[in-house]
């Protein structure tokens, strides 16, 4: 959430205070205009924000995820699918990792699936399916299972 917004360089702009217009000259005795009793608001300059490239942003997020506590390999729960339509196995690591990474669980699951797909080519049906709040569904390829027997 907020940490990623800071990485993206998004910063709230301060609202400028409106200056009050000078009051018209008084019709009583004179043509001098009186200075406004309101002090004019000083505008503070906005601090420039460095914008990161997408690669730099992803590297920072990856480093933060790698250092995230209390996430551990034990949190990378991969188990048999609860229903056959979900495939052979399910990974729910995204749901425990998402909060530490500051990501939506489905977005976290998408990133996990994207990282796993090159390693699972020829083993699982690709692309991996993201289901529900952040499950990654894994289904073995038929030819892989035949070759493994």
Sheet holding 78-80, edge to edge: 78-80, 89-91, 135-138, 129-131
Nearest to 39 by CA among 67, 58, 20, 14: 20
Local confidence pLDDT in tens for the 149 residues of the chain: 555 555 555 545 555 555 555 555 555 544 454 554 444 455 666 655 556 677 877 777 777 666 655 556 666 678 888 888 889 999 888 888 888 888 899 999 999 899 889 999 999 999 999 999 999 999 999 998 888 88
131-134: long-range contacts, CB 8 A cutoff, minimum separation 24: 131/86, 133/95, 133/105, 133/106, 134/92, 134/94, 134/95, 134/98, 134/105, 134/106, 134/108, 134/109
């Amino acid at each position: 959430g907020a940490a990623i917004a800071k990485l993206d360089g998004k910063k709230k702009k301060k609202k400028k205070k409106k200056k009050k217009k000078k009051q018209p000259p008084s019709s009583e005795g004179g043509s001098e205009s009186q200075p406004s009793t309101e002090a004019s608001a000083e505008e503070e300059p906005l601090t420039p924000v460095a914008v990161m490239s997408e690669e730099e942003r992803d590297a920072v997020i990856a480093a933060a995820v790698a250092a995230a506590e209390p996430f551990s390999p034990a949190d990378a729960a991969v188990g048999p699918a609860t229903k056959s339509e979900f495939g052979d196995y399910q990974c729910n690591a995204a749901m425990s990792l998402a909060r530490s990474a500051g990501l939506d669980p489905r977005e976290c699951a998408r990133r996990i699936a994207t990282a796993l797909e090159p390693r699972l080519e020829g083993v699982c049906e690709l692309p991996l399916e993201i289901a529900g709040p952040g499950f990654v569904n894994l289904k073995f390829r038929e030819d892989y299972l035949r070759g493994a027997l």
